[in-house]
Amino acid sequence: MTHPVPFPHMARAVELAKAAAQDGEVPVGAVVVKDGRVVGEGANAPRSHKDPTAHAEIIAMRAAAKALGDERLTGCDLWVTLEPCAMCAGAIAHARISRLYYAADDPKGGAVDNGPRLFTQPTVHHQPEVYGGIMATEAAAILREFFGERR
């Protein structure tokens, strides 16, 4: 008997993270979902795109906004394999993402539950619901393997 994947959107984000690693990029993947349908995807790509902003979340949210024809992603969920950094958390707030699901936490670069904890700042203009730790073991293992191989 086959069991369904419990978190299919995070499973897809993990696939995108693995694809990033194969391209020599820090393995992070992200998916934007609206009404159960994927409307944007991203694999981390700053090196290959020559773009300091080309994190998985930014690529996925830009794709979703383009697909939906709206700068705001109200009602959309973002699934990402690593806790977002300050740049991505800021973009999540600008995009009005409704729910943020992330896998591994990032004590060094994270800005949601670590560092500046941006969504708790008094000046934040939008605060998504946040759910961390989903498939964290798998996502963290991919990152560890990537950095282990590079040392």
Residues in contact with its own copies by the rule CB under 8 A: 46-47, 49-54, 58, 61-62, 65-66, 69-73, 85-91, 93-96, 107-111, 114-116, 118, 121-123, 125
Whether 88 has a binding-site annotation, put simply, is: yes
For its own copies, give the closer residue by CB, 14 or 28: 28
Give yes or no for a contact between 77 and 109, defined as CB atoms under 8 angstroms apart: no
Q: Catalytic residue among 15, 57, 71, 138, which?
A: 57
For its own copies, give the closer residue by CB, 73 or 135: 73
Alpha helical stretches, state H, 3-135? 8-22, 46-49, 56-68, 86-95
In sequence order, the 6+-apart residues with CB closer than 8 A to the CB of 38 are 9, 12, 31, 32
Distances (CA, A) of 132 to 69, 72, 137: 29, 23, 12
Residue 113 CB, shortest distance to its own copies, in Å, is 12
Distance between CA 19 and CA 33 in Å, rounded? 20
Q: Any catalytic annotation for residue 57?
A: yes
For its own copies, give the closer residue by CB, 106 or 135: 106
Active site residues: 57
**Binding-site annotation, residues:** 55, 85, 88
Q: Which residues are annotated as a binding site for Zn(2+)?
A: 55, 85, 88
